[in-house]
């Protein structure tokens, strides 16, 4: 092999392409410097604006938008540099597809910028509305009243977040349209129409449930305090109830439930969800239909207990006066029939037992509920 001939041919070829190679390297170095400078120029104002921090504070989601935008600008300019390098090297067949892709990217940039600007506007408007709602509720006494009377947490932050996300949801179709995301726009618009149609029902249900809860809390406190002041707890103590069982508190809880349950069912009915509201309404109807029988049963039991106690005490005193309690001593059974097991006490307990058992007797041909009020 003639190395002298090979070397001379190589030098001739390199000498012919050397200006292009040097020009390509210079273009690449210049493009790299411009891309690095542009990335720094993008990252600097975004860092000063604390974009990532503000997004995290507003949405609760940690993102790296500053770094992402800087990297996008860097690689976009580097792609332009690559096309220029390939053109300098006269590699049109390689640079043509990349140039076509770059043309599509550049053509989409106005839509991307418009969508980004509209997203920024939506975020600013939503943040402003949230701030206004929080400050408006803080300026009123609603949160203090809810916390004092109903034991609820302040509603300002929660209401502000609801308004914030609702405003973003309303802007979402416009943002998607600005980004030319037609495939995603149609289902989002349909979802938004359904959400806006359901929103009045949800607000009505929330108002009904909230008012019902507040009324139930107020009535529970009112009934408990009134019955406690009337001395109903002393009646329970005389009846032998445990000290932890307060009749006033029990009555207040029952009133709370009787007010809250219909309110919740009415709230479910306001949502127009038949699969949930229909069974709940049927359950409420059964409960309300059973209330008269339950009240009648309670009245019968209380009257029976009062009458039976009076009769049992009267019979026990008659037996004591008749000297029945002295019989065990005469027949030698005083060790068995004495104290709690003496005759008068046993007879009184038997009268109370059978008397309280009678209201639950079920006559022939009558239902269980009818026997409670028969």
- Judge whether 167 and 122 are in contact, CB under 8 Å: yes
C-alpha dist (Å) from residue 88 to 12, 18, 26, 140, 351 = 19, 11, 10, 70, 116
Structure tokens at 373: 């009020």
Asked whether residue 347 carries a pLDDT value surpassing 70, the answer given is yes
Asked whether residue 84 carries a pLDDT value surpassing 80, the answer given is yes
133-181: pLDDT as tens digits: 888 877 776 666 656 655 556 566 777 888 888 888 888 888 888 877 7
Structure tokens at 2: 């003639």
Asked whether residue 301 carries a pLDDT value surpassing 60, the answer given is yes
Percentage of the chain beyond pLDDT 70 is 75
Among 15-19, 84-88, 123-127, 210-214, which is the least confidently predicted range? Answer: 15-19
324-341: pLDDT as tens digits: 666 665 565 555 555 555
- Judge whether 263 and 217 are in contact, CB under 8 Å: no
Give the residue, 209 or 275, on which the prediction is more confident: 209
Q: What is the pLDDT of residue 339?
A: 54
Asked whether residue 203 carries a pLDDT value surpassing 50, the answer given is yes
Q: Which helix (H) or strand (E) holds 334?
A: none
Strands (E), the chain: none
In 3-state terms the chain splits into helix, strand, coil percentages (rounded to 5) of 85, 0, 15
Per-residue b/e over 58-77, b at no fewer than 16 CB within 10 Å? Answer: bbeeeeeebeebbeebbebb
85-139: pLDDT as tens digits: 888 777 777 778 877 877 877 787 788 888 888 888 888 888 888 888 888 877 7
Q: Which alpha helices (DSSP H) does 231-246 contain, by range?
A: 232-238
Q: How high is the mean pLDDT of the chain?
A: 75
Structure tokens at 341: 């097991």
233-249: pLDDT as tens digits: 776 666 656 666 677 78
Q: Give φ, ψ of 20 to 5 degrees.
A: -65, -40
265-286: pLDDT as tens digits: 888 778 777 777 677 777 777 8
309-323: pLDDT as tens digits: 888 888 877 877 766
**Distance in angstroms (rounded) separating the CA atoms of residues 92 and 59:** 47
Q: What is the mean pLDDT of residues 36-41?
A: 87
User: Sorting pLDDT into bands at 50, 70 and 90, what band is 57?
Assistant: confident
């Amino acid at each position: 092999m003639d190395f002298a001939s090979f070397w001379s041919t190589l030098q001739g070829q390199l000498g012919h392409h050397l200006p292009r190679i040097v020009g390509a390297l210079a273009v690449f170095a210049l493009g790299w410097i411009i891309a690095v400078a542009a990335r720094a120029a993008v990252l600097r104002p975004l860092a000063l604006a604390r974009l990532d921090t503000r997004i995290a504070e507003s949405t609760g989601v940690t993102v790296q938008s500053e770094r992402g935008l800087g990297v996008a600008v860097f690689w976009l300019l580097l792609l332009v540099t690559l096309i220029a390098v390939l053109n300098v090297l006269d590699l049109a067949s390689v640079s043509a597809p990349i140039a076509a892709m770059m043309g599509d990217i550049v053509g989409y940039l106005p839509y991307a910028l418009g969508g980004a600007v509209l997203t920024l506007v939506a975020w600013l408007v939503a943040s402003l509305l949230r701030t206004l709602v929080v400050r408006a509720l803080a300026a009123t006494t609603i949160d203090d009243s809810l916390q004092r009377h109903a034991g609820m947490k302040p509603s300002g932050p929660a209401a502000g977040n609801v308004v914030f996300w609702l405003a973003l949801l309303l802007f979402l179709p416009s943002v998607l349209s600005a980004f030319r995301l037609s495939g995603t726009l149609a289902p989002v618009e349909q979802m938004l129409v359904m959400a806006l149609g359901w929103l009045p029902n949800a607000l009505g249900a929330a108002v009904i449930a909230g008012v019902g809860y507040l009324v139930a809390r107020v009535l529970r406190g009112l009934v408990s305090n009134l019955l406690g002041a009337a001395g109903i707890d002393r009646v329970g103590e005389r009846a032998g109830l445990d000290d932890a069982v307060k009749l006033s508190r029990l009555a207040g809880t029952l009133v709370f439930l009787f007010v809250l349950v219909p309110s919740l069912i009415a709230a479910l009915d306001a949502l127009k969800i038949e699969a949930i509201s229909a069974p709940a309404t049927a359950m409420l109807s059964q409960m309300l239909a059973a209330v008269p029988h339950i009240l009648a049963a309670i009245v019968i039991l209380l009257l029976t207990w009062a009458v039976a106690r009076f009769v049992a005490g009267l019979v026990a005193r008659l037996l004591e006066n008749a000297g029945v309690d002295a019989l065990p001593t005469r027949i030698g059974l005083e060790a068995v029939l004495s104290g709690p097991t003496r005759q008068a006490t046993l007879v009184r307990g038997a009268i109370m037992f059978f008397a309280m058992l009678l209201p639950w007797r079920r006559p022939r041909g009558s239902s269980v509920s009818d026997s409670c009020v028969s």
